[in-house]
Amino acid sequence: MSKTGADQGVTPLALVALGGLALALLATFVFPFRPALVAGLVLVYAAGGIPASLRAGLALVRHRVLAIDLLMVLAAVAAAAVGAALEGAVLLTLFAAAGALEARAMGKARRAVEALMALRPDTALLRGPDGGLREVPVASLAPGDRVLLRPGMRVPVDAAIRIGEGEIDEATITGESMPVRKGAGDAVFEATVNLTAVLEIEVMRALGESTVARMIAMVTRAQAERAPSERFGDWFGQRYTLAVLAGAALAYGVFLWLGYTPQSALYHAATLLVAASPCAIVISVPAAMLSALSAAARGGVLFKGGAALETLAEAGIFAFDKTGTLTTGRAELRRVVALEGSEAALLALAAGLEAHSEHPVAGAIRHAAVARGIQPVAVFEVTAVTSEGIAGMAGESLVWAGNERMMARMLADAGAAAPPLAALANSAETVVWVGRGPQLLGAIGLADGARASAPEGLAALRRVGIARQVMMTGDRREVAEKIGEELGFAPDDTHANLLAEDKLRLVAALASEARVAFVGDGVNDAAALARADVGIAMGAAGSDVALAAADVALLSDDLTRLAAALRLARRTQRIIRANLFFAVGAMVVLVAGALAFELPLPVAVIGHEGGTILVVLNGLRLLADPIRSDRRPR
Ligand code: ADP
Ligand code: MG
């Protein structure tokens, strides 16, 4: 079985080989008719043998790799040479059938990765001729269009920066994880991520021109990132194939020396070749892995590769971001405290600032303004400060909205205005302070509820043995404690007031105790997602930066899928172990039989290919078990 067996057209060829074999068997056992037998054999050798020889030849010439196809073709030809052409035909047919099964599994996984690409933004903010912003489908963008990019947004098409300067994460294109600083005139590429600044870009190429190339690059990259056990399979397959070839040649010599006729020695050497071929061993890992990856994808959990699945199976600690991960991120406005002017004016200023932000808090403030019919103030030259807030220019003055760190950065102080704000400070609400320069204008209190699936999702994880659960948030301690208590986090494992680098440090510390999975959604989670053994991004709700940094994307926001994914990962690991054990065992038995008991070639063929097909089917069982929600209807 070879990795190159995933070519298209494998299934029809396998069917032709099957038809030819059926004809040959009928012409042998049911109505002995030599021309029909010969026709059947020719069909099988052509449909099964020629493509396998081509693949083996290509692998040898292009990649200097000994494909297992080579062993199979050699064995079949040797069988034909000693008058056992029918046995050779059975071998080729079963080999082609196993290859077709493998190709199907590969195709499923490939589609799963293509689904990952669908996370590219569908819409973009087009700057109209009147200066206004309009959300338009990315496919409708044409060269020359101006598009606004908020921090955290993915670049929708290849473009050049016209206004603004900021960091771009180009890991999707270059694989380079350090962000690149870019300003006016620089080119930005589709699918890279705008990290910090608000940028206005000019479209250089329409969508259709670059998507396909990038999609293929991504699929091959995801597949190139093989799981450790897969790499072992490849390594083992290579050396083992060589050893089998040498062993069969040696056995041929020994059989001759023992006094076998050349015919019989060749027959036995071919039997040994088939018995010892590692098809089942090489296919056992990818068959299970690819099935699991596509079962997971159908359940809305996209793994970027087999390695992530293998690591998840070993996870011992789960760490969670709060806002947007454990909570809905759709916070509700609870109160507005204006120290100066009206509440409406404060909200208008805050909404004007937050119009430029992707943060869940920003969305809540925008919605509240819309709901009250408040027109946002126009704010320009905006800078987002991760885990703090946002600042920009309204008219001549610097305005800002954010948490206490932002307030301190602006040298503002809530102390003087204590009485009206005391109630807010004591509440378990997320507080957004709003100010102009060093002057505090007021504050907005927001409350964000836990996701409906959060309690059950965490409980499901505990049930599968994840006792250690940690919350990490950039929000205030009061808010963290309230949600933490509600969801059953230990007080020691509830961390508040964190910056992105604090989350990173905490994850690194946890990683020294056990394998850590980190679940997050925000720009400020990207570093922790990348550092964790398995980073899991909230796909639909999360920022593109988080998605790019993670190993796994959760497409739905249903947190019970985490435990389901963990169970699937563990089950995959068990099936892989069982497959390897079975494959090695079957091979040992067959080789012993071929050496000690003059095993007939057909028995070796059926034992060998049967074992391969069993292993593939055992792996494919994982397909039948898509990840499902554990949520009980409420
Ligand atoms: P979390 O880690 O819980 O996802 P973040 O680190 O993203 O939270 O944000 C931490 C805090 O920073 C928020 O609770 C909020 O008070 C403040 N903040 C971040 N971005 C903004 C913004 N755009 N506007 C106002 N406040 C913000
Ligand atoms: Mg968050």
Rg value, the chain, Cα: 31
Cα(205) to ligand 2 centroid in Å equals 33
Among the bound ligands, the one closest to the CA of 446: 1
Query: Which of 196, 359, 385, 386, when mutated, tests ligand 1's pocket best, judged by the most ligand atoms within 8 Å of its CB?
Result: 359
pLDDT at 213 exceeding the cut of 70: no
The answer to whether 4 and 223 have CB atoms below 8 angstroms apart is: no
End-to-end Cα separation, the chain, in angstroms? 49
Structure tokens at 171: 């890991």
Q: Output 40 or 209, whichever has higher pLDDT.
A: 40
How does the average pLDDT of the chain come out, rounded? 84
The C-alpha torsion from 329 through 335 and 341 to 347, rounded to 10°, is 20
Amino acid 5: pLDDT: 38
Q: Counting atoms of ligand 1 from 1, which one is nearest the CA of 357? A: 23
Cα–Cα distance measured from residue 609 to residue 300, given in angstroms and rounded to the nearest whole number = 34
Cα(84) to ligand 2 centroid in Å equals 67
pLDDT at 2 exceeding the cut of 60: no
Identify the residue whose C-alpha is closest to ligand 1 atom 21. 389
Share of the chain above pLDDT 70, in %: 87
The answer to whether 309 and 303 have CB atoms below 8 angstroms apart is: yes
Instruction: Give domain 332-447's CATH superfamily.
Output: Calcium-transporting ATPase, cytoplasmic domain N (3.40.1110.10)
DSSP string, 295-331: HHHHTTEEESSHHHHHHHHT--EEEEEIIIIIB-S--
Cα–Cα distance measured from residue 254 to residue 632, given in angstroms and rounded to the nearest whole number = 67
The answer to whether 527 and 504 have CB atoms below 8 angstroms apart is: yes
Summarised one tens digit per residue, pLDDT across range 193-203 is 898 899 999 99
Cα(322) to ligand 2 centroid in Å equals 6
pLDDT at 276 exceeding the cut of 50: yes
Share of the chain above pLDDT 90, in %: 38
Q: Counting atoms of ligand 1 from 1, which one is nearest the CA of 388? A: 12
Cα(167) to ligand 1 centroid in Å equals 19
Residues with CB under 6 A from ligand 1: 321-324, 354, 357, 359, 361-362, 387-390, 401-403, 430, 432, 473-475, 522, 524
Q: How sure is the predictor about 601, in pLDDT bands with cuts at 50, 70 and 90?
A: confident
What burial class does residue 185 get, using C-beta atoms within 10 Å of its C-beta: 0-12 exposed, 13-18 middle, 19+ buried? exposed
Structure tokens at 327: 């909570």
Cα–Cα distance measured from residue 600 to residue 588, given in angstroms and rounded to the nearest whole number = 16
Q: Counting atoms of ligand 1 from 1, which one is nearest the CA of 503? A: 2
Among the bound ligands, the one closest to the CA of 435: 1
Cα–Cα distance measured from residue 27 to residue 382, given in angstroms and rounded to the nearest whole number = 81
Is 321 a residue of the active site? yes
Summarised one tens digit per residue, pLDDT across range 158-193 is 899 999 999 988 765 554 556 888 998 888 887 788
CATH fold group of domain 121-155+159-204: 2.70.150
Pairing, β 123-127 against β 146-149: antiparallel
| Report for 142-156, 268-282, 414-428: range of highest mean pLDDT | 142-156
Amino acid 8: pLDDT: 52
Identify the residue whose C-alpha is closest to ligand 1 atom 7. 387
Residues around the ion ligand 2 (C-beta < 5 A): 321, 323-324, 521-522
Among the bound ligands, the one closest to the CA of 542: 2
CATH fold group of domain 315-323+451-566: Rossmann fold (3.40.50)
If you search the block for the tokens 């494959």, which residue do you land on? 583
Identify the residue whose C-alpha is closest to ligand 1 atom 22. 389
Plot region of 229 (φ>0 → left; ψ -120 to 50 → alpha; else → beta): alpha
Cα(499) to ligand 2 centroid in Å equals 11
Amino acid 541: pLDDT: 59
Extents of the domains making up the chain = 10-113+218-292+569-624, 121-155+159-204, 315-323+451-566, 332-447
Identify the residue whose C-alpha is closest to ligand 1 atom 24. 389
pLDDT at 226 exceeding the cut of 90: no
Count other Cβ atoms within 10 Å, centred on residue 443. Answer: 26
Q: Output 210 or 338, whichever has higher pLDDT.
A: 338
Distances (CA, A) of 456 to 73, 301, 324, 497: 54, 18, 17, 26
Lowest mean pLDDT of 173-177, 216-220, 503-507, name the range.
216-220
pLDDT at 4 exceeding the cut of 50: no
**Helices marked H in 319-396:** 343-354, 360-371
Cα–Cα distance measured from residue 28 to residue 42, given in angstroms and rounded to the nearest whole number = 14
Q: Is residue 320 classed as helix, strand or coil in its secondary structure?
A: strand
Structure tokens at 170: 């180009």
The answer to whether 168 and 196 have CB atoms below 8 angstroms apart is: no
Summarised one tens digit per residue, pLDDT across range 66-102 is 777 888 888 888 888 888 888 889 888 888 887 787 6
Cα(151) to ligand 1 centroid in Å equals 13
Query: Which of 346, 388, 472, 497, when mutated, tests ligand 1's pocket best, judged by the most ligand atoms within 8 Å of its CB?
Result: 388
Cα(180) to ligand 2 centroid in Å equals 23
The answer to whether 432 and 403 have CB atoms below 8 angstroms apart is: yes
If you search the block for the tokens 């010599």, which residue do you land on? 253
Pairing, β 199-203 against β 146-149: antiparallel
Q: Counting atoms of ligand 1 from 1, which one is nearest the CA of 325? A: 4
Q: How far is CA 362 from the centre of its chain?
A: 28
pTM above 0.85, yes or no: no
Summarised one tens digit per residue, pLDDT across range 303-351 is 877 888 999 999 999 999 998 899 987 788 999 999 888 999 999 999 9
Count other Cβ atoms within 10 Å, centred on residue 162. Answer: 14
| Report for 116-125, 175-184, 322-331, 362-371: range of highest mean pLDDT | 362-371
Angle among Cα 428, 431, 434 to the nearest 5 degrees reads 165
Task: Give me the catalytic one of 169, 321, 525, 551.
Answer: 321
Strand blocks (E) in 365-500: 380-385, 389-394, 397-402, 430-436, 439-447, 468-472, 494-495
Lowest mean pLDDT of 280-284, 520-524, 540-544, name the range.
540-544
Q: Counting atoms of ligand 1 from 1, which one is nearest the CA of 354? A: 23
**Residue 223: closest CA among 161, 279, 294, 276:** 294
The answer to whether 80 and 27 have CB atoms below 8 angstroms apart is: no
Structure tokens at 67: 């494909």
Identify the residue whose C-alpha is closest to ligand 1 atom 16. 403
The answer to whether 311 and 515 have CB atoms below 8 angstroms apart is: yes
